[in-house]
Structure 1
Amino acid sequence: MIDILEPWARSVDRIRSHRWRKILVLGDTDRGKSTYCRYLCEQLLANGSRETVAYVDADVGQKDLGPPTAITLGYPQPRTPWTQIEPAAWHFVGNVTPAGQLLPAVLGTKHLVDTARAARTVINTPGFVRGTGRILQTHLIEAIRPDVMIAIVKGRELSALLKPYRYHRTLRLPPSPQASAKTLPERQANRERAFRRYFSTAQQAEFLLDELVLQRALIFTGTKIHLSPFPYAERTDEGIIAVAAANT
């Protein structure tokens, strides 16, 4: 149970009354973005609402929905715990930080927002907001074109990010007083728990390589060649790839 700030409650009333469809939530780390997103989704679903609410979790490091390293889409339901919401779709980024993965992060978020097709879509962004992170957030804003941005800030935080969008509809909200700074070991532990939870029901599966399509990978795009002592090798447009046995 959390104490909800009055500005947070007023923001929900405004979002509901104006029927803003795409809500992009921005903020530094440890500001309560995830808490706000969950609260907003729950309120939009309250009182017998028949609106479909989608949640796009674009924070690849500290996940509410699905495993780290992926952007995920889910559909919260009234009285359903968040831990029981299964991702309806996801986009693999491949890292627990969007640093160095800006294009997959932007394309993946945009794709899932478009896929949602909901009356309301709440988008939770990573707390990566300075330097390269600011560039990521600007591309997210321009790709998604939200109806409203929710900036959870202390003082003048995010000024450099938001000033170019000063004519865009933006609600600035204070952080949750219960949001506390997490240490690096705490963040790592959260990711480990999220991975364990996601893979707890995993089963071993076998696939024929000839039937698989590997995206963004060079292997299996060329012509197979014999290259001793390697069990597999191929010639591609970018050179030769050789696969070595595990014990070599």
Structure 2
Amino acid sequence: MNTIIVPREWRRVAEEIKHGAKTGIILGRTDSGKSTLCKYLIQTWTASRVRVGYVDSDLGQSTIGFPTTVSLKIYDTPHHPRNDANPPYLQFVGNTAPDGFLVQTLHAVKMMADKSRQQGAEITLIDTAGFIDGPVARILKQHKIEMLRPQWILALQAGDEMEHLLKGYEKMGWQVIRLTCSEHVAARSQAERQKYRTEKYKAYFKHARLTDCSLHRVVFPSCILGTGERIDPSVLPNKLCIHAPNRPYLEKCGNELLIIADAADALIPVSPLKESFGVASVILIERDGLKDLLVGLNDDNNCTWDLAPSLIPTLLPAN
């Protein structure tokens, strides 16, 4: 904080909302200073013996966590960069942007906000991504606010770039506090942001090791993989033969038939397969798309373990 000139209004707001607020959400465009504001608030409040939970939901430029995750850290003492290593709570989303992952992102934020309260945080700060333009951004932000029901919304603006969101929130009864961006926040190029993610990946996987895991020891919540009846392709009649470089992996579960083949352009007799197995859909996954795949491993409470997940090219059976 000694290297940043904090705007006077930041100091005023920190004192104003310190008492009585339980949850707050920070909105702003990319490079508006959201994370800087959060660090300032954490330092200010913990110096007054307020326990603060910091939920970092910026999937691509996470401050305390790992790209593709929503993370939580509880602060009892003033913020220090070294405290950002190995956040105690993570929730894997699986992408560096919320596009196409809205449900997963909302679920992860809710889990981390609930965990913050369970850990005794008096104030929970939700730091968001700079995703504010377009209908998808509006949907994500609106449902996040409805879900968290914060006592206040802190909006960092250089001009009026978020008024299309803020005026609507105010009409719905939410308390919005507008703040100007710090003049000392440095903008980063797309290349710099990509480099930041790469460095995060390298640091996280520095001591990672390869490991084999049986397909039937894990659960894939959004896929039938490992939950159905495996089918040996060698016993299929000629009219159901799947022409691919290597034998495909087949599994039937309920009304679906899963096929994992070496190439997406493998010749699949979809209609005969549906008729023969009595399924409504045939799902084809290219095996190469499952190699070097980043995954999150969750515990019994569905929280992601904070460990370096293995790159698992041998997770699937060879045949």
Alignment TM-score > 0.5, same fold: yes
CA contact (8 A) 1:68 1:195 kept: yes
Asked if 1:135 is matched to 2:139, the reply is yes
Of 167, 172, 180, the residue aligned with 1:163 is 167
The corresponding residue for 2:218 is 212
Matches within 5 A, 1:186-197: 186-197=192-203
> 2-side partners of 1:87 and 1:65: how far apart?
6
CA contact (8 A) 1:28 1:128 kept: yes
> 1-side partners of 2:31 and 2:9: how far apart?
18
* Equivalenced residues, count: 245
CA contact (8 A) 1:56 1:123 kept: yes
Cα displacement (A) at 1:178: 1.4
> 2-side partners of 1:124 and 1:39: how far apart?
13
Asked if 1:2 is matched to 2:4, the reply is yes
Identify unmatched segments of 5+ residues in structure 1. Answer: none
Higher RCO by CA contacts (8 Å cutoff, separation 6 or greater): 1
The corresponding residue for 2:13 is 11
> 1-side partners of 2:79 and 2:164: how far apart?
38
CA contact (8 A) 2:27 2:127 kept: yes
2:158 is aligned with what amino acid?
Answer: K
The corresponding residue for 1:94 is 94
CA contact (8 A) 1:151 1:170 kept: yes
Identify unmatched segments of 5+ residues in structure 2. Answer: 235-245, 263-286, 289-317
Identical-pair percentage: 34
Matches within 5 A, 1:75-94: 75-78=74-77, 81-85=80-84, 86-94=86-94
CA contact (8 A) 2:10 2:179 kept: yes
Tell which structure's C-alpha radius of gyration is larger.
2
1:130-181 deviation line (CA, Å, top 9, x unaligned): 1121221111111111011100012222111111221321111000111232
Query: CA-atom RMSD, angstroms?
Result: 2.1
1:234 is aligned with what amino acid?
Answer: E
The corresponding residue for 1:34 is 35
> 2-side partners of 1:82 and 1:208: how far apart?
39
User: Measured at CA, do residues 165 and 240 of structure 1 come closer, stay the same or move farther in structure 2, by a change above 3 Å?
Assistant: closer
Q: Secondary structure at the match of 1:56?
A: strand
The corresponding residue for 1:151 is 155
